[in-house]
Homo-oligomer: A and B are copies of this chain.
């Protein structure tokens, strides 16, 4: 085994994890109690508790006070998505990120937009439309509305050195966000900007970010289906 260098709580975790992932303990089966693990591994209760608590946080185990610990249902296996800055993503791949500004303006909130941003209809909003390129190839159309209350100097930023995502992350402490991913066909203007056929399927990510009491921004990010995909891993 490779457990020898693990801390004690890690060895207890590994022991339980192996029994679960091998199928020896099935969903709903009881997991050894803290006191059982104390005797079995010769550890203190705090150590056994930490092992079980971390497994609970990871979604592998359910615990009920007064009852015991049980193997969780399997479909809880999960993966994490992060808000990433596209510039970071591109340079991390060793490629060059550039950006074209299509629009950068002050506009008035339509009723739907006002609703989404928590403003009055007709209120001032910032609006930018950018195209992000990786090694000169367009990979993202970014159409973004920003609440002036959250970032008053948004339009003064220089999009050749920073990105809206990065600017907002550093200027408006982010507390919450929601997103959705859907498929769409591009508008003629988007197809032109992304240099793709008007019939090509695209991924659209709609993101709404909240900063403190304000909705900070509403963004619609369009990716050509042929040049971009989201990927991830589910673990243990």
CA distance A230 to B22 in the complex (A): 31
CB closest residue in chain B, given A203: B183
Given the complex, which residues of B lie within 8 Å of A85, measured CB to CB?
75
Interface size on A, residues (CB 8 A): 52
The residues of B that contact A23 with a CB separation of less than 8 Å are 173, 212
A79 touches B179 (CB 8 A): yes
Q: What is the chain B residue whose CB lies nearest that of A81? A: B79
Q: Mask for A206-230, Cβ within 8 A of B = 1, else 0?
A: 0000001000000000010100111
A107 proximal to B (CB < 8 A): no
One of B20, B78, B177 near A82 (C-beta < 8 A): B78
Asked whether A74 is an interface residue with its Cβ less than 8 Å from the other chain, the reply is yes
With A and B bound together, what is the CA distance between A57 and B80 in angstroms?
13
Q: Is A64 an interface residue (CB 8 A)?
A: no
Q: Which residues of B contact A183 (CB under 8 A)?
A: 183-184, 201-203, 223, 225
A22 contacts across to B, CB distance below 8 A: 173, 212
- Is A82 touching B74 in the complex (CB atoms < 8 A)? no
User: Known contacts being A184-B201, A230-B180, is A21 close to B173, with CB within 8 Å?
Assistant: yes
Other-chain contact of A181, B179, B199, B229 (Cβ < 8 Å): B229
Write out, one digit per residue, whether chain A residues 48-78 have a CB within 8 A of any chain B CB (1) or not (0).
Answer: 0000000001000000000000000011111
Given A77-B83, A79-B179; 4 other pairs, CB 8 A cutoff? A75-B165, A176-B236, A178-B232, A180-B229
**Nearest 10 A-B pairs (CB), nearest first?**
A183-B225, A201-B201, A23-B173, A180-B231, A182-B229, A177-B234, A183-B201, A78-B80, A181-B230, A183-B203
29 CB < 8 A contacts A-B: A22-B173, A23-B173, A46-B46, A57-B57, A74-B169, A75-B88, A75-B165, A77-B82, A78-B80, A78-B81, A79-B80, A79-B179, A81-B81, A83-B234, A176-B233, A176-B234, A179-B233, A180-B229, A180-B231, A181-B230, A182-B229, A183-B184, A183-B202, A183-B223, A183-B225, A185-B199, A185-B200, A199-B199, A201-B201
